[in-house]
Amino acid sequence: MILTVTLNTAVDITYRVRALTPHASHRVTEVAERPGGKGLNVARVLAALGHEVTVTGFTGGATGRALREQLAHTPGVVDALVPVGGATRRTIAVVDETTGDTTQLNEPGPTVSPAEWSAFQEAYGELLRSASAVALCGSLPPGVPVGAYAGLVRAARARAVPVLLDTSGEPLRRGVAARPDIVKPNAEELAELTGSHEPWQATRDARRRGAHTVVASLGAEGLLAVNAEGRWRATPPRQVRGNPTGAGDSAVAGLMSGLVDHLPWPQRLARAVALSAATVLSPVAGEFDRRTYEELLDRVAVTGDATAA
């Protein structure tokens, strides 16, 4: 079982408009609503790939009940979310059909009490007993300690469960120091962590801070990866236009899938890049266009040096 952790779950609402114009009224042409938050997006992609997935994190209020009802209809995903008194947040994505650009509005999430945080840690420890790998994903809701991910990384490592961390800012900095097996920042998060805007240098610097493997997402330009075995770059054979929301989460799903399938790193990266690109053609996060994925998978270019760290 793969475990995904989404401490700041959400109901993702996607609006499509013909053209997004500031200060104007818009007619929405299409609405989609899904359980969201980075780890839930990762879980849906993993389930679509045929993996057994359990999701945990916090949920509460009317929005949380709606999220769990929708999640109950997601094949292959087991709900182990922990209830809180506050209301689960919503995220709003507005897709401009003319330009293909997406504008994202993210609510902060419920305030988590110390007792609720303790209850989650206890539930997380129990779930680790049957987990083959764990992905820690997304932002922290108010009330959760900034070093929360560092503690969750250490708990997973204490049970010899491989752990991937995908977050940003101070939670990323502290989490990296706990030595996760994989971290997956994007270029902006990587620069904030290391102070370097040169991707290879920043990736190496991030690894020296504690992560065993650093996989840097460069958007449409693919992925970089550095670990003790070497370094690689994976790029899609062509760029696809569409909604990039969730593309990074699909890349995480590809890395987790490759991890539990024991694939060599070049194949893991190819899977992650193909899934990420195929997600851009999906109308909502947590889904991917399977035909595009299968077409791209064998055509992702992976170059690298298996001896350079």
pLDDT in tens, 70-128: 999 889 999 999 999 999 999 998 988 888 788 889 888 899 999 999 999 999 999 99
* Tokens matching residue 284: 């909502």
| Active-site residue (options: 12, 166, 249, 289) | 249
Tell me the C-alpha distance between 284 and 104, whole Å: 12
Identify which of 235, 248, 236, 173 has the alpha carbon closest to the alpha carbon of residue 206.
173
Q: Are strands 82-83 and 77-79 parallel, antiparallel or unpaired?
A: unpaired
- Local confidence pLDDT in tens for the 309 residues of the chain: 999 999 999 998 989 899 999 898 999 998 888 898 999 999 999 999 999 999 999 999 999 999 999 999 889 999 999 999 999 999 998 988 888 788 889 888 899 999 999 999 999 999 999 999 999 999 999 999 999 999 999 999 999 999 999 999 999 999 999 999 999 998 899 899 998 888 889 989 999 999 999 999 988 788 999 999 899 999 888 776 666 777 889 999 999 999 999 999 999 999 999 998 888 777 666 678 788 888 888 888 888 876 655
206 within 8 A of 176, measured Cβ to Cβ: yes
249 included as an active-site residue: yes
Question: pTM higher than 0.85 for the full model?
Answer: yes
Quick one: pLDDT at residue 158? 96
Integer CA distances (angstroms), 11 to 18, 65, 193, 198, in order: 23, 10, 29, 35
- Helix (H) or strand (E) holding 30, with range, is strand 28-36
- From CA 248, how far away is CA 273, in angstroms rounded? 9
Residue type, 290: R
Note the pLDDT of residue 241: 67
